[in-house]
Amino acid sequence: MKPKQNGCSSFHNLHTSRRDMLRVGSLAGLGGLCLGNLYRAEAAQKWFDSKPGTAKSVIQIILPGGIAAQESWNPKPEAPLEYRGPLGFVKTSVPGVIFSELLPQQAKIAHKMTVARAVVGNIPDHGLATYNMITGQKPSQAIKHPAVGAIVNHEFGARNGLPGYISVPSIENIPGGGTGYLSDKYGAFSVGGDPAQGNNFQVRDLSLPVGVDIESFNQRQAMRQLVNDQFRKLESNPEPLETMDAYYQQAYSMISSKAVQEAFDLSKESDKMKERYGMGKFLEQGHYGKSLGSEAGGRMLLARRLVEAGARFVSLTYASWDTHVQIRETYDKQMPAFDHAIGTLINDLDERGLLDSTLIWVAHEFGRTPKVNPSAGRDHWARVFSMAFAGGGMNKGLYYGQVDATSSDPAKDGIPLHDLHSTIYKLIGINSQKELMAPGDRPIEIVNEGKPVEALIA
């Protein structure tokens, strides 16, 4: 049975299905720039070479709807009851730092984590704030900006045959999750299926059509190359064909690569490892009829497999946090599976020697109101909220920034979103002030005015 929705309608309207974009044989839109104009525009760009930084890979964990700092990484037990909320707290491995009582696993490894406790936003609308979070840019009527994952894909591309930007199960319906002004070829490869299905999980577009064997597949690839060569002789602007080639090449290399196939194959993981991530535990149902434990654990386990195989940027979503009513009821159901899975992910990466080179970024669009509302929930609050990280060159065990006694406003070391994104880009190896070319020969900074927060960086 589909679970009751307790979020606002504007949040639920964000998540409607769209036509799949990455298909073997899909066509890119036409368009392009005159070569002379392109060279003149590129000469006016601020240009910085991108070189892989400390964070060789990123796992972006999106918590749609906005999680409350008071019920997660920055509880305020000394505040009046109507502000501190219904949950207690637990001491962590970092002296003087406390987490929500529902985060016992993260509390044990708080010394491996980093929390920016006073992130400053200014957009209380789900769609617009999500766009701001996913792109690092404020929404504009004049231009669409690319997601951080698309930028990473643009700057570094595929590695070990894996797409440079992967979403689990899909980021296509999340505002800002696309390529913006960049070519579609830098978009996310959406796995489509849900790892919560366990051994029944299948990745969309990662197998040959029924009736097509590998020999026929290779013949079709050779024939397509001949056709494209002929088109190039006739077309004055080859850019659309180049984009088509990028789609084809990615699809062909993935379908024909055993290593890539295995990276997506959760059946290669032992039952013990799946259980460790929480699959089969925490049996409350999530939004897709799967247990919340399998939803959180399966997606994070797949993300670990992908970065271990060489993926640069993996984005996944978990649950819904738009808690206008009954915040305790929602968090009691959703938080244990999340806490268990991310705690396991951090430890697992650490044990494999991958935590220092993998940035885990828990992203959400805003926080929740300082005061609990009459429906025992919290409403939208963008003025200050918390954001959690681990690994990838972040300063471990740092709990940076302070909020006031009621979690209403920053009290010390507030971090604007554009500075937080600049910090993330610096760890990845990208200068956020670099300008990329948008349509109309228009150079656009990756992040406007952002400066890295050096205190967050180890």
Mean pLDDT on 209-235? 49
Query: Hey, is 426 helix, strand or coil?
Result: helix
Note the pLDDT of residue 210. Answer: 43
Q: How far is 419 from 449, CA to CA, in rounded Å?
A: 8
Beta partners for residue 222, in sequence order: none
Residues 6 or more apart in contact with residue 308 via CB below 8 angstroms: 263, 352, 354
Q: Whose structure tokens read 């406790």?
A: 117
Residue scoring higher pLDDT (260 or 61): 61
Least confident of 43-47, 95-99, 388-392: 43-47
Mean pLDDT on 164-176? 92
| pLDDT at residue 334 tops 70 | yes
DSSP secondary structure code for residue 38 in this structure: H
Percent of the chain at pLDDT exceeding 70: 78
Q: How confident is the model at residue 17 (pLDDT cuts 50, 70, 90)?
A: very low
The rounded mean pLDDT for the chain is 85
Q: How confident is the model at residue 11 (pLDDT cuts 50, 70, 90)?
A: confident
Note the pLDDT of residue 226. Answer: 47
Q: How far is 39 from 394, CA to CA, in rounded Å?
A: 38
Note the pLDDT of residue 241. Answer: 46
Q: Whose structure tokens read 């409607």?
A: 16
Tens digits of residue pLDDT in 438-455:
988 899 999 999 999 999
Task: Look at the domain 55-202+271-456 and name its fold.
Answer: Alkaline Phosphatase, subunit A (3.40.720)
| pLDDT at residue 122 tops 50 | yes
Note the pLDDT of residue 446. Answer: 97
**Where do the H-state alpha helices sit in 288-416?**
292-309, 327-351
Q: Residue 397 burial by CB count (10 A; 0-12/13-18/19+): exposed, middle or buried?
A: middle
Q: How confident is the model at residue 195 (pLDDT cuts 50, 70, 90)?
A: confident
Residues 6 or more apart in contact with residue 252 via CB below 8 angstroms: 24, 217, 221
Mean pLDDT on 368-376? 98
Pair 321, 63: CB distance under 8 Å: yes
Least confident of 100-104, 221-225, 299-303, 419-423: 221-225
Note the pLDDT of residue 224. Answer: 45
Least confident of 45-49, 181-185, 244-248, 411-415: 244-248
Q: Which long-range contacts (CB under 8 A, 24 or more apart) does 329-333 make?
A: 330/6, 331/71, 331/87, 331/100, 331/102, 332/102, 333/284, 333/292
Tens digits of residue pLDDT in 274-310:
999 999 999 888 766 779 999 999 999 999 999 999 9
Percent of the chain at pLDDT exceeding 90: 68
| pLDDT at residue 230 tops 60 | no
Q: How confident is the model at residue 25 (pLDDT cuts 50, 70, 90)?
A: very low
Tens digits of residue pLDDT in 51-108:
999 999 999 999 999 999 999 999 999 999 999 999 999 999 999 999 999 999 999 9
Pair 176, 25: CB distance under 8 Å: no
Query: Hey, is 231 helix, strand or coil?
Result: helix
Pair 306, 166: CB distance under 8 Å: yes
CA 255 to each of CA 20, 126, 167, 438: distance values in angstroms, whole numbers, following the listed order:
18, 37, 18, 32
Q: How confident is the model at residue 44 (pLDDT cuts 50, 70, 90)?
A: low
* Largest pairwise CA distance in the chain: 73
Q: How confident is the model at residue 246 (pLDDT cuts 50, 70, 90)?
A: low
Tens digits of residue pLDDT in 340-357:
999 999 999 999 999 999
Note the pLDDT of residue 238. Answer: 54
Residue scoring higher pLDDT (249 or 433): 433
* Every domain of the chain and the residues it spans: 55-202+271-456, 207-263
Q: How far is 397 from 406, CA to CA, in rounded Å?
A: 24
Q: Whose structure tokens read 């899975």?
A: 341
**Where do the H-state alpha helices sit in 102-147?**
104-108, 126-135
